[in-house]
């Protein structure tokens, strides 16, 4: 274990061990209730760090046969649910216009307007895009169909034209390609680095944009099935967005 980690663990452990030393003479006497009481006094990240330190301590003592049972075994801390929060409107204005290339503009549109995830977007195939019908089939995770709005349709056409002009002979089957992926014999999708380069100048991550889009849709409906169909998300995820948009309905939904 790195010395820095040991020092951090000792910092969390010292006050707890000092308190225990006032009433026990051996760590063999420490019970699960003792561990839970110590954690109850330290909420949030501090409690989780203390639990990691205690686990490390007692697992090491058990391995060395100093103790016979690990009082941290089975002890856990509940992680508070993190509900999505909206992105201020002024940060969303002009995102597509600020994107630098035809591919970047298309990517920003499918994420910000249609709520596609980073991985879903990277793995889109050329055959998934049907411009004649205005459809985009998303096959990763939970399969669903995206119905392109006018702006995204135009941006998709612009990107296909640009793609063909730059790499007319590429056999890469993915909708999104880069200078590296078209030259790679393994025919991979674009890298996460390429995706990061698209969003970094905008000051927003694709996950934040996706969350904001789904949350905006949830404000207009309390129907989780609608969110599941539109964004291809699981029921549990859909309910999380409904709760965030309509907290007053938490106790009445899906009774």
Span 148-191, pLDDT tens digits:
999 999 999 999 999 999 999 999 999 999 998 988 878 889 98
Handedness of CA 119, 85, 205, 133 (dihedral sign): positive
Sole residue written with tokens 């793609």:
163
- What pTM, to 2 d.p., does this model score? 0.65
Nearest partner of 198 among 84, 110, 87, 88, judged by Cα: 110
| Distance (Å, whole) CA 112 – CA 106 | 10
39 pLDDT tier (thresholds 50, 70, 90): confident
What are the start-end ranges of the H helices in 93-205? 95-98, 102-112, 118-122, 150-166, 192-199
- Mean pLDDT of all residues belonging to the chain: 87
H or E element, residue 144: strand 144-147
Note the pLDDT tens digit of each residue in 68-110. 899 999 888 765 556 667 777 777 778 888 998 999 999 999 9
pLDDT in tens, 225-249: 999 999 999 888 998 999 888 887 6
Cβ neighbours of residue 126 closer than 8 Å, sequence gap 6 or more: 173, 174, 175
């Amino acid at each position: 274990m790195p010395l820095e980690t040991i020092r951090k663990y000792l910092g969390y452990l010292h006050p707890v061990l000092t308190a225990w030393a006032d009433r026990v003479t051996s760590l063999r006497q420490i019970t699960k209730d003792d561990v839970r009481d110590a954690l109850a006094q330290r909420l949030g990240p501090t409690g989780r760090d203390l639990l990691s330190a205690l686990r490390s301590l007692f697992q090491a003592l058990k391995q060395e046969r100093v103790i016979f049972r690990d009082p941290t075994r089975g002890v856990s801390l509940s992680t508070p649910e993190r509900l999505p929060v909206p992105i201020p409107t002024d940060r969303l204005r002009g995102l597509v216009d600020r994107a630098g290339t035809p591919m970047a503009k298309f990517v920003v549109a499918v994420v910000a307007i249609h709520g596609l995830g980073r991985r879903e977007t990277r793995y889109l195939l050329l055959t998934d895009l049907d411009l004649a019908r205005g459809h985009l089939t998303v096959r990763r995770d939970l399969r669903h169909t995206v119905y392109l709005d006018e702006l995204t349709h135009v941006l998709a056409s612009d990107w296909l034209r640009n793609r063909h002009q730059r790499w007319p002979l590429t056999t890469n089957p993915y909708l999104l390609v880069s200078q590296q992926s078209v030259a790679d014999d393994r025919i991979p999708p674009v890298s996460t680095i390429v995706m990061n380069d698209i969003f970094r100048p905008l000051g927003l991550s694709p996950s934040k944009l996706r969350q904001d889009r789904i949350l905006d849709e949830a404000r207009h409906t309390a129907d989780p099935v609608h969110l599941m169909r539109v964004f291809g998300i699981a029921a549990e995820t859909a309910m999380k967005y409904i709760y965030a948009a309509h907290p007053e309905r938490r106790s009445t939904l899906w009774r």
